[in-house]
Amino acid sequence: MKKIFVLLFAAVMAASCLGDGTSSSHTYNLIVDFEYAENVFEADSVAFDDKQGLGIGYADLAFFHKLTADKKTLVGGFAVSRLKGKGSSLGRNDFRVNSGAGLAGSPTYAVFRYDPNAQNMPEHDVQFLNKQYGTCTMKGCYVNNTAEVVQAVRSVFEVGDRLTLKATGYLDGAKTGDAEISLADYSAQKDSVVVNWTAFDLSKLGTVEFVEFEIVSTKEDVPASFCMDNMISTISLKY
């Protein structure tokens, strides 16, 4: 497995004003599909920022992580994976999506690891980098379980157990909204675990500067991680 510096944050370089005193505005839909990483690290590998140890960036959004002191191991937050294929025999199931590839068969996707101990997590999970120049409104993303999570759920879950992913938005220090999606539901009426890419509606988060993720399980033996692809947001900038 190869660990490579993927991409440090690429913020938009915005000027405060044009020469004639007028301003310019730009609104676009940002789809973070992590495909840029294909050119930076090899197939069948996992990558994170082992140079600065901060995280990865995609245009106006940054996806943070926390590494060990030697910057060789991810402790919490986001990494980018190009691991493909299903099955425990392949190894690295903690960073391997259960469906075998990214959304619609793409080779890259993100993997997020959550630890309730704040010391093992970055200060923030996702950040809009250009708040001083505009706004970021969340729309949604696609989520899936890792092969490791699916294996654990099927081994230890009983009737009544659930695995839930929660997302919360923040702006100027205040909560903007939250959303949640079930990653596994073993209620009496339903017995299921997410094994394919599933849409996660983030519109209730609204306009944000930060997005924080939390994974809640009724069983301690289930790893707190999930896979993400194609995060969609609307970015409006004025400069």
In a domain, 139, yes or no: yes
The token pair at 112 is: 């997020």
Domain that residue 219 falls in: 25-238
Report the percentage of the chain scoring pLDDT > 90.
72
In a domain, 4, yes or no: no
- For 75-109, write each residue's pLDDT tens digit: 999 999 999 988 778 889 999 999 999 999 999 99
pTM greater than 0.75 (yes/no): yes
- For 122-178, write each residue's pLDDT tens digit: 999 999 999 999 999 999 999 999 999 999 999 999 999 999 999 999 999 999 999
N- to C-terminal Cα separation, the chain: 42
**What's the number of domains the chain is made of?**
1
Q: Count Cα atoms within 13 angstroms, Cβ side, for 150.
A: 20
**Rounded CA gap, 74 and 53, in Å?**
9
The token pair at 219 is: 């069983």
In a domain, 6, yes or no: no
In a domain, 196, yes or no: yes
**Rounded CA gap, 91 and 97, in Å?**
12
The token pair at 164 is: 């839930």
